[in-house]
Amino acid sequence: MVSRKPFDRIDSCRLEKVTKKYGDRFAVKNLNLEIQGGELLILIGRSGSGKTTALRMINRLIEPDSGSISVNGIDVREFDPILLRRNIGYVIQNIGLLPHLRVSENIGLILKLESWKEEKIRERVKYLLNLVSLPPQIFMERYPHELSGGQQQRVGLARAMAMDPPLFLMDEPFGALDPLLRSQLQDEFCKIKKELGRTIVFVTHDINEAFRLGDRIAVMNNAELVQVGTPEELIFSPANDLVAEIVDSKRKYRHIDALKVRDIMQPLEKRYILYPGMSAASALDYMVKVGLEVALVFWNPENTGRVYLNDVLNAVSSGKSLEEAAKPLPLFSPEISLLEALARLKAEGESMGLVLEADKPAGILFSDRVLENLI
């Protein structure tokens, strides 16, 4: 069989007015959802909310009754389903390794069907096993039943990556593992994800997993999409009570009211601060030498700003001073409430603010780090 890849990269994957009915019951109802290239989108909801059905329509394991699903603007129905699926990594909770095949044969099965040479397959299998932290010399010749649950799931992941697909569909891949192992695999998965930079649609019912892995989260209920947004958006402005309940904003983040900026801010290292009197040129030298992408310019509490390396570069070439190049950024006292500070950041469209203590820079507040620190 000649290998024809339907797509090499994902710019977008769009579900438009997708509906699927089983009998009288809607499994998915009028779903509109866009998955952006390179992101990890979480589909979360209770069982029966339609998240798995939505996922399985993307690689045509289920065909929608109406509506369309497209990858890079091309309807998936125009692709041969077999070729489509080989170009989309698929990992499910039950893994589904073939019990009569060794680990290497399981991972290499599709490659073999794609008429790869034996040697090339072995090479690829070794690479993939290393990627999922299973030493090939130990694991290649084993049978699935000789592996632990976590190891099997790693092999499942390696198998899904065999054809180097640009898109992954994952259906509760870590759901059957014990909590400790789950969080370890999630960590490793994050690393792999960063390394490979793939587009991933990930089904789960575990909100902590969703927060941990997801760039954006789509909440589904009763076959319909309720809200889609970043973890922060869901927590701080849930669309309805259900979302609030799912993200558990009441219980888990109740204490957020009591938090102060001091609790969450990142300590500011001295090297990030540029002091007055510095010329744009020497600031550039300094930033390049120390390896800074961004720095703070601090004269006094009334004159504080942030410069990116690019700004300094522009300032040097246009003869501006460092002070002119700096953009003002919100200032906070460490004692004000976190929610108030976050609201101000949001209102000003900023992602970071400077925390001043006794008129001296003490720390930085990143809005997108707030969640990380809370979970």
* C-beta closer to other proteins: residue 20 or 85: 85
Stretch that binds other proteins, among 76-84, 266-274, 308-316, 327-335 (CB under 8 A): 76-84
- Give the residue, chosen from 82, 138, 258, 288, that forms a contact with other proteins under the rule CB under 8 A: 82
Q: Enumerate residues 112-131 that contact other proteins by CB under 8 A.
A: 113
Backbone torsions φ then ψ of 70, nearest 5 degrees: -130, 150
- Give the residue, chosen from 7, 67, 70, 109, that forms a contact with other proteins under the rule CB under 8 A: 109
- Give the residue, chosen from 98, 138, 190, 288, that forms a contact with other proteins under the rule CB under 8 A: 98
With a CB cutoff of 8 Å and minimum separation 6, the contacts of 143 are: 99, 100, 101, 102, 103
Residue 154 is a binding residue for other proteins (CB under 8 A): no
Report CA-CA distances (Å) from 253 to 76, 236, 256, 258, 351: 41, 10, 5, 10, 20
* CA separation for the pair 133, 128 (Å, rounded): 9
Residue 3 is a binding residue for other proteins (CB under 8 A): no
Listing DSSP states for 268-328 in one string gives: PPGGGEEPTT--HHHHHHHHHHHT-SEEEEEEETTEEEEEEHHHHHHHHHHT--HHHHPEE
Give the DSSP H or E segment for 337: none
* C-beta closer to other proteins: residue 169 or 370: 169
* C-beta closer to other proteins: residue 60 or 306: 60
Q: Total residues at the site for other proteins (CB under 8 A)?
A: 27
* C-beta closer to other proteins: residue 173 or 353: 173
Q: Are 228 and 219 in contact (CB under 8 A)?
A: yes
CB atoms inside a 10 Å sphere around CB 151: 18
> Smallest distance from the beta carbon of 73 to other proteins, in angstroms?
22
Give, rounded to a whole angstrom, the gap between the first and last alpha carbons of the chain. Answer: 48
Residue 152 is a binding residue for other proteins (CB under 8 A): no
> Smallest distance from the beta carbon of 143 to other proteins, in angstroms?
4
Residue 13 is a binding residue for other proteins (CB under 8 A): no
Residue 288 is a binding residue for other proteins (CB under 8 A): no
Closest CA to 268 of 360, 350, 139, 155: 360
- Give the residue, chosen from 12, 19, 61, 181, that forms a contact with other proteins under the rule CB under 8 A: 61
- Give the residue, chosen from 7, 19, 37, 110, that forms a contact with other proteins under the rule CB under 8 A: 110
Backbone torsions φ then ψ of 169, nearest 5 degrees: -115, 125
**Site residues for other proteins per CB under 8 A:** 59, 61, 82-87, 90, 92, 94-96, 98-100, 109-110, 113, 143-145, 156, 159-160, 163, 169
